[in-house]
Amino acid sequence: MPNGTLSQHLHNPANYGYKPLRWNERVQIALDAARALEYIHEHTTPRYVHRDIKSNNILLDKNMRAKVADFGLTKLIRENSDGNSQTRLVGTFGYMAPEYARFGEISTKVDVYAFGVVLLELVSGKEAIVQRDATGMNGTIISLVRNYGTSETTIDVLVPYGLSSIVTICSNHASLIHLSEENKWD
């Protein structure tokens, strides 16, 4: 694709000869990727789970429109299935839903979780795996948001652009993510 991957535009774009994404581009990319996920989850027969949604697998065309790529780890969801099944673990750490990482449970929710991580990347410019956060700890972007909550530190760490309302919304949503079985998204 002429404009590479979303990851290249978010993480050190100058290294790839790109300028930082404008906010309207980020929103359009999020919408394009969401529509692609909706299509494979709801409008294909049979239905599929991508299992490797990440910023490296979102390609950008000449008009900066997003295309979800790399269907090599895709898993078929059987029609008679309740939507959940168990499988061997594949994908990329940092984007894996807790129930998938812990128990190997696969459903479309796995892709939705990973897409949420991509949205945090779009807002913050941070990678899914944060090499060093403000405390000097390694972890995921989700753990970074959970640890800081809605404090001013979160705003400074995540978004240097002064978009505190966006970070507050993301922090509130991230705080709803729990590892317990009864709190899985429906």
30-34: long-range pairs with CB below 8 Å, 24+: 30/66, 30/118, 30/119, 30/122, 32/65, 32/66, 32/67, 33/58, 33/66, 33/68, 33/115, 33/118, 34/115
SS3 assignment, position 138 = coil
62-to-1, 2, 120, 123 alpha-carbon distances in Å: 7, 5, 24, 22
Q: Name the one residue in this structure whose structure tokens are 């966006």.
A: 166
Q: Which residues form the catalytic set?
A: 52
